[in-house]
């Protein structure tokens, strides 16, 4: 494993488990210090220990769409590790299943607040505190559900379509010093996605050319690339990481 992130600090939201924790682990393995967020302090404490303790990681509990929490996280990243070079907007929610016709609009508004508006606010906060002067890189964790209708998770997919647009708009606005890209996973085996595959994993993975669902490490490697200088001429890109299902014509 390289040390291409040595001396750099990454903030990863929603990182006490699943894809977020996988990304944090990959960045630590490559030399970064990480500041991870989630709602539950207990889960964050366990994640920090898994990442190697206080030398490598700091956990700050709070709500991802709370502006005061965002400002605190960025300030503590700079105070503790000396910078806030990288941001991964990973936290997301899917409080309702099904289509749009019977949608609880209050739940829909909350989905957009967390999945879309919070990511914009995090970029505003980290740009003001560090990246505006020093530069940096941002990766938004979107979804292939934002590319085509997904009736089981319609509002989630709509919010991720908005994340895709936000990614490209921000890339135009914050360049050249800050790069903004997105990664679009298909079904990844996490607690968050169990509704989509639990009890029928073989059936769900059958349309995938690679014949398996994703795991957090599959996404973490691509995120690490996008954050690194190896992707230094990439911004505004939506990188699909889906085992090939989108090109095979299978359901997203």
197 is catalytic: no
Q: Strands of 33-38's sheet, edge to edge?
A: 57-61, 33-38, 9-12, 86-89, 136-141, 178-185, 238-241
Six-digit token pair at 80? 């503790």
- Cα distances (Å, whole numbers) of residue 172 to 33, 179, 185, 203: 28, 9, 23, 40
Largest Cα span, the chain = 49
- What is d(CA 108, CA 208) in angstroms, rounded to the nearest whole number? 30
Runs of H (alpha helix) within 175-231: 194-197, 201-205, 216-227
Catalytic residue among 156, 165, 197, 208: 156
Q: Is 124 exposed, middle or buried (0-12, 13-18, 19+ CB in 10 A)?
A: middle
- Please list the active-site residues: 156
């Amino acid at each position: 494993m390289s040390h291409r992130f040595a001396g750099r600090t990454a903030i990863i939201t929603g990182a006490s488990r699943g894809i977020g924790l996988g990304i944090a682990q990959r960045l630590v393995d490559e030399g970064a210090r990480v500041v991870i967020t989630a709602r539950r302090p207990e889960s964050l404490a366990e994640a920090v220990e898994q990442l190697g303790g206080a030398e490598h990681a700091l956990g700050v509990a709070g709500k991802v769409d709370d502006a005061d929490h965002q400002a605190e996280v960025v300030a503590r990243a700079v105070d503790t590790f000396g910078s806030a070079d990288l941001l991964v907007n990973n936290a997301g929610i899917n409080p309702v299943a099904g289509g749009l016709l019977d949608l609880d609009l209050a739940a829909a508004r909350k989905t957009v607040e967390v999945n879309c508006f919070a990511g914009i606010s995090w970029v505003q906060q980290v740009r003001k505190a560090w990246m505006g002067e020093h530069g940096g890189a941002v990766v938004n964790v979107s979804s292939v559900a934002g590319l085509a209708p997904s009736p089981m998770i319609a509002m989630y997919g709509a919010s991720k379509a908005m994340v895709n647009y936000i990614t490209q708009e921000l890339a135009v606005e914050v360049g050249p010093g800050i790069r903004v890209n997105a990664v679009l996973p298909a079904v990844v085996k996490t607690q968050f996605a169990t509704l989509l595959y639990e009890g029928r994993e073989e059936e769900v993975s059958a349309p995938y050319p690679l014949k398996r669902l994703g795991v957090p490490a599959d996404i973490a490697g691509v995120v690490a690339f996008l954050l690194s200088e190896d992707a230094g001429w990439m911004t505004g890109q939506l990188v699909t990481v889906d085992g090939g299902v989108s090109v095979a014509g299978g359901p997203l």
